[in-house]
Amino acid sequence: MRLSANVELFGGNRALRIHFTEVDLARVRVAAEPDPMGEVLSTLQRLQSRGGRWQFAAWHRTVRADLDTAGLARPVREVLFPLYALGPYLPDFLTPPESEGGIGAAPDGNLRMPGRVVRAELRLLDRLSPVPSWALRLDQGAEHRELTELIRRYHEVAVAPFTERVAGGIVVHRALLARALPAGGVEGLRSIPGARFRWRPPVLEVDYRTDRDLHLRGRGIRIVPTYFS
């Protein structure tokens, strides 16, 4: 399961503290469909981790072979892995909110991100998880478009063929959330098996890779269940 604004759930002793206002509490919603860029993120991190290898063994074998056949194995390894690194931070421009409308809408949001924002996010990523020098040029139009096209091609190979499986898994996750939220609001999330939440009104603490505070300030939050994480 994943929270928007690049709030990912991981085990550990550190915590992400999400600060809610009364307005935010009324704006908690659950995504109705799988988020394509969320699944791109989850699958790329799955390929870089040994976690879940047994659970996703068939997917691993199929996707690695298909990426090689499509000539994408090297670009994925050299371009996408450094950007979607297993670290404490993921640039927001890689998961634009427009992806809620499907993989066709995601590139539009990605390309509309101002260059200065992309540049700032890449510099932050570089401080936490060093990236190749070429990555710092992704604030430029041509390079950004090439990256967007690579992400689209990767989605076609690693995510799209598994749409039915992903959708089925999301139905299960969404059903759990649909029961938990109306019954107990944000606090009800604690009833989900395996959830690592601590609700200390008005702050929701989530096990995370680093200590961080997120102030919603009326924006609300969208909970995005993800199959591959």
Across 23-48, average pLDDT: 88
Count CB-CB contacts under 10 A for residue 82. Answer: 16
Instruction: State yes or no: pLDDT of 155 exceeds 80.
Output: yes
Report the share of the chain in percent with pLDDT over 90: 30
CA atoms within 13 A on the CB side of 91: 29
Residue 104 near residue 63 (C-beta atoms within 8 A) = no
Average pLDDT, the chain: 82
- Rounded Cα gap, residues 80 and 74, in angstroms: 10
What's the farthest any 2 CA atoms get from each other in the chain?
51
pLDDT value for 41:
93
3-state secondary structure of 29: strand
Instruction: State yes or no: pLDDT of 10 exceeds 50.
Output: no
Q: What is the pTM of this model?
A: 0.79
Instruction: State yes or no: pLDDT of 11 exceeds 50.
Output: no
pLDDT value for 57:
92
pLDDT tens, position by position, 93-116? 888 888 877 777 776 677 777 888
**Strand 28-30 with 221-224, pairing:** parallel
Report the share of the chain in percent with pLDDT over 70: 84
pLDDT value for 184:
56
Residue whose entry in the numeric block shows the structure tokens 């791109």: 40
pLDDT value for 139:
79
